[in-house]
Amino acid sequence: MERYRIQIKRSAGKELRKVHGRDQIRIAQRIRGLAFDPRPPGVKKLSGEERYRIRQGACRILYEISDESVTIFVVRVAHRGEAYRK
């Protein structure tokens, strides 16, 4: 299986930097793990969108998968209460 490239949207990177301490490290590790398994156990596909979400503590990581270009595009990293708001 080919390893996926990970691209993080600029705004998602800013959201990640706002998370403090161990949570930030765990979220970054979880994102890196997507390169090897883009659909890990516990992943949910969001209804009405071609996006997926995984949980890491109280935060949610929202991302898109492009199997054709073997890329994962992280679009949002946010607290669970804010993650799904437009």
Domain ranges, ordered by start, for the chain: 5-79
pTM of the predicted model, to two decimals?
0.91
- Return mean pLDDT, the chain: 92
pLDDT digits (tens, 9 = 90+) for 37-58: 999 999 999 988 889 999 998 8
Q: What is the pLDDT of residue 1?
A: 63
For the domain bounded by 5-79, which CATH number is listed? 3.30.2310.20
What's the token pair of residue 71? 């890329």
**Residue 39 to residue 50: CA distance in whole angstroms:** 13
Distance from C-alpha of 9 to C-alpha of 14, rounded to nearest angstrom: 9
Helix (H, G, I), strand (E, B) or coil at 52: strand
